[in-house]
């Protein structure tokens, strides 16, 4: 179910082989092997028919080894930067702040740069912007050939491994955030979870 409408699984679509091994979801942990990003994990997730159509980058800041205030200051993901690309472009910085009043109770607060609040003009759809850039010869949003080749050099071994594997992709219900294994991967490795509650 997506927004109250029943939708078929990919393998139940007309013309799709019910035994198809075509992947419709992927969750990865990747690393960049250089001095700047050494030890920083990147978690990527994308899929079809998920609970919401959203594109965003979430930067979780490292937790401090010891909190001078209270224990809940140490929870993973409490301090993070969320860059929402679509829909509703926004940049939010989340942090813990002391609640007014007695005691040392912390609450999550955020600073918000909501583009639709600051820029009141007509918003251009993502693909409309790309087409206009092509027509006007602006290439800032497009990759160069060497970037495209580097991307294929990175992705091709993954595609080849999937093609040679006898394992079928893990199923997941439409309208969810994907297989439970993707959440387990993040929880076990980073001690946090995918950011799914933001709208």
Q: How confident is the model at residue 69 (pLDDT cuts 50, 70, 90)?
A: low
pLDDT over 60 at 73, yes or no: no
Provide mean pLDDT across the span 85-109: 83
- For residue 126, the 8-state DSSP code is H
Domain count, the chain: 2
Report yes or no on 136 lying in a domain.
Answer: no
Please report which residue ranges of 84-144 form alpha helices under DSSP H: 115-118, 126-136
Distance separating alpha carbons of residues 79 and 58, to the nearest angstrom: 10
Same domain, 68 and 103: yes
Q: Assess if residue 63 is contained within a domain.
A: yes
- The pLDDT score that the predictor gives to residue 199 is 42
Same domain for 100 and 66:
yes
Whole-model pTM: value is 0.74
User: Is the domain of 107 the same as that of 70?
Assistant: yes
Give the CATH number of the domain where residue 181 resides. 3.30.360.10
Examine the fold and report which residue of 123, 153, 176 is the final residue of a domain before the chain moves on: 123
Question: Does residue 198 fall inside a structural domain?
Answer: no
> Is residue 31 in a domain?
yes
Q: Are 42 and 31 in contact (CB under 8 A)?
A: yes
Average pLDDT of the chain, as a whole number: 82
**Is residue 108 situated within a structural domain?**
yes
| Domain identity same for 30 and 2 | yes
Share of the chain above pLDDT 70, in %: 88
CA nearest to 192, candidates 75, 99, 103: 75
Q: Are residues 38 and 17 in the same domain?
A: yes
Helix (H, G, I), strand (E, B) or coil at 107: strand
Q: What is the dihedral of CA 111, 112, 118, 119, to 10 degrees?
A: 150
| Torsion sign over Cα 51, 56, 62, 64 | negative
137 domain residue, yes or no? no
Both 65 and 118 in one domain: the answer is: yes
Both 34 and 68 in one domain: the answer is: no
Q: Could you list the residue range(s) of the whole structural domain that residue 108 is in?
A: 59-123
pLDDT digits (tens, 9 = 90+) for 134-178: 888 888 778 889 999 999 998 999 889 988 988 888 888 888 888
* 134 is a domain residue: no
Q: Please tell me whether residues 65 and 98 are part of one structural domain.
A: yes
Residues 150 and 118 occupy one common structural domain: no
Residues 46 and 80 in one domain: no
Say if residue 116 is in the same domain as residue 161.
no
Q: Is there a contact between 39 and 18 (Cβ–Cβ < 8 Å)?
A: no
Are residues 151 and 183 both part of a single domain? yes
Round to whole Å and give the CA distance between 18 and 50. 20
**Domain-embedded: residue 32:** yes
72, 89, 123: which is the final residue of a domain? 123
Q: What is the mean pLDDT of residues 12-22?
A: 84
């Amino acid at each position: 179910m997506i927004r109250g409408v029943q939708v078929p699984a990919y393998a139940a679509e007309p013309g799709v082989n019910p035994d198809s091994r075509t992947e419709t979801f992927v969750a990865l942990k990747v690393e960049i092997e250089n001095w700047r990003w050494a030890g920083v994990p990147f978690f990527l997730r994308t899929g079809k028919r998920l609970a919401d159509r959203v594109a965003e980058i979430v930067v979780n800041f490292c937790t401090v080894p010891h909190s001078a205030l209270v224990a809940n200051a140490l929870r993973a993901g409490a301090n993070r930067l969320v860059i929402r690309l679509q829909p509703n472009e926004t940049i939010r910085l989340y942090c813990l702040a002391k609640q007014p009043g007695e005691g040392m109770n912390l609450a999550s607060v955020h600073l918000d740069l909501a583009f639709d609040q600051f820029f009141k003009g007509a918003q251009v759809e993502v693909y409309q912007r790309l087409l206009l850039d092509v027509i006007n010869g602006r290439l800032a949003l497009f990759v160069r050939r060497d970037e495209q080749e580097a991307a294929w050099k990175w992705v091709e071994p993954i595609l080849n491994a999937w093609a040679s594997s006898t394992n079928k992709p893990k199923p997941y219900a439409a309208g969810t955030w994907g297989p439970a294994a993707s959440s387990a991967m993040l929880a076990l490795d980073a001690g946090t979870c995918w950011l799914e509650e933001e709208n």
